[in-house]
Amino acid sequence: MAYRRADERLVSTFMRYPELRLLDRFYGVPPLTAAAAMFFIGFALQRIKPELHTSGPQLLAWGFFVSTVLVHHAIYSVNTIGHLFGSRRFESSDQSRNNVVIALLTFGDGWHNNHHFYPRSARHGFYWWEVDLTLYILKALSYLGIVWDLQTPPQRIFAETASGRALNETLVAPPSGELAG
């Protein structure tokens, strides 16, 4: 497969980070490294702790291939289920919805309507009861100085919700006909 260079006009902001350019150029290295690590960890565990009944191929299958498929399905469900089922706190042109099940499976991305209303926010769960594990991880990284300048929703968004100006509509599925296409 030939390498396809990113269109620098579309990602100009990211081009100033050499580590992102490196990842763009050598995109296959991280997953291949992870797959090899799973295999060799399984191989080592088979030798060191045979009572665990594991092996290189077994850890490669479960620790890399199955987990990768499950993660991808969870992520893709955000853009399918997250536009079909759940509640809509804010008016948006894309019919995005907040879905607690998807939010739990994706570490917070299931608060999809919140994200579409204010995409700049690192916090997709706008309220304390909207569990957002990604935010908690990012906050921990910010305390360590690894990430910074985390954006959160401005107070006006909470005021809109409190005053009832937000959509605040709960739907199980979109009206019939919206899916026809």
**Residue matched to tokens 């079909």:** 84
In a domain, 6, yes or no: no
- The model's pTM: 0.72
Q: What total of structural domains would you count in the chain?
A: 2
pLDDT (tens digit, 9 = 90+) per residue, 37-76? Answer: 999 999 999 999 999 999 999 999 999 999 999 999 999 9
Residues 148 and 111 in one domain: yes
In a domain, 160, yes or no: yes
Which residue range(s) make up the domain with 130? 87-171
Per DSSP, the residues of 84-133 read TSEEESS--TT---B-HHHHHHTTTTTBHHHHHHSTT-S-SS-STTS--H
Residues 64 and 27 in one domain: yes
Dihedral angle sign, alpha carbons of residues 75, 90, 104, 120: positive
Q: Output the average pLDDT for the chain.
A: 86
